[in-house]
Amino acid sequence: MTPETPIAVVGAGIAGLALALALEKRGRAVRLFEAAPALSALGAGLQLSPNALRVVDALGLLPELEALASRAHAVTLRRASDDRAIARVPVISTDGTPYLSLHRADLQRVLLRAVERRPRIDLHLGHRLEAVRPRPDGIALTFSCGTDARVTVEAGLAVGADGVHSALASAAGLQDAAPTGRTAWRAMVEARSQGDGAPGITAWLAANRHVVAYPVSGGMRTNVVAILPSAAREDRSGGPAFPKSKTAPRLADLLARADGWTPWPILQTPAQRPYRLCEDRAVLIGDAGHAMAPFAAQGAALALEDAAVLADCLVSEASPAEALARYEAARRPRIDAVRRRVAFHRRVYHLPAPLSLARDAALALRAPASLAADLAWLYDWAPPLR
């Protein structure tokens, strides 16, 4: 695509902000449209594995992000019933790239500040996409932007980076994301004192459910995520119910201290959802293209990977059609592989007894290096950004 080809990005979340920065780094101007009238500090915690952080590093933002995050060396798997350690899975990549836990709002702020420093990125807030229409030389996008106000924007290419409820996917007639039958209950635990936050990343496994906890906000808070069947009942505090007789005291204390439980039904897009739309005038990235359950902690990472790969394709290929064909060829096999890993974790994490006992015994026999090798294909990925 020529530098004069206008690119419109719909959605200023992680995928959209990262794509705008990656394109600007390669000398391209970008128009970025966001439905919200302001980008507020919403969301909960997230984990960024080495494959994601290489994209952040290529954008020149890793030192700024690290100052707001906590480093993890491993994910510790424990039994929810008695807190017994099952396995310790190293998460640092072979080249030493770290693994961070942080608040989603901190990542968004770092990306947004960088966007605001780039004059070739034109950010439009309060623009909600209503319709798209392919044109011979590009695509027309119609946005509502206030009471009875509408504007139509013409671009050579539109990128849907607008999440699991993507307006661009909907406008193109795609099937909506579907419930997985699981709900993620999210909450924060304030540290009682300096250093009281969760040390590293811990996952407690139980039949048909699990809990993950890790530090955010520089270690002063712990992000807690409990993933249960959507039909599971609530306890008296309005949070997820865990039977006391089957919950270790340390985990029970963590759940009791958690404040402001919020249920988030987990949705996923069909695995066959097309990424290329509107006669190759539009493309979906991030959750808009491939939302999946968070059993591999790769949602934000895949969004950052998508942004880096798509930017490279758009500046390297002669036409949108060639760029999008190359993008899909590069991304779909990897995303499908992550989807298979998610399905594997979902099965293994939620095994009931006695199958869980066999799982625990098998994991105990494996060395940490062997467990780390299972994820090398995921964490050792490097972006094409230059």
Cite the DSSP H helix spans in the chain.
14-25, 50-58, 62-66, 104-116, 167-171, 249-257, 287-290, 299-316, 320-349, 355-364, 368-373, 376-379
Whether 364 is covered by a domain: the verdict is yes
Q: Give the domain CATH number at 364.
A: 3.50.50.60
Query: Which positions are catalytic?
Result: 214
Whether 70 is covered by a domain: the verdict is yes
Q: What is the pLDDT of residue 193?
A: 52
Whether 317 is covered by a domain: the verdict is yes
Range of the domain at 23: 7-177+268-379
Whether 185 is covered by a domain: the verdict is no
User: Which two structure tokens, joined as six digits, stand for 323?
Assistant: 């760029």
Whether 199 is covered by a domain: the verdict is no
Whether 191 is covered by a domain: the verdict is no
Contact of 73 with 92, CB cutoff 8 Å: yes
Residues sharing a CB contact under 8 Å with residue 249, sequence separation 6 or more, in sequence order: 83
User: 10-residue block means of pLDDT along the chain (386 residues)?
Assistant: 86 98 96 92 86 97 96 95 95 91 95 96 96 94 89 96 97 95 94 59 96 91 94 80 88 91 95 96 98 97 98 95 97 98 96 96 95 95 84
Q: What is the pLDDT of residue 192?
A: 67
Whether 254 is covered by a domain: the verdict is no
Q: Which of 311, 308, 298, 303 is nearest to 337 (CA)?
A: 298
Whether 252 is covered by a domain: the verdict is no
Please give the tally of structural domains in the chain: 1
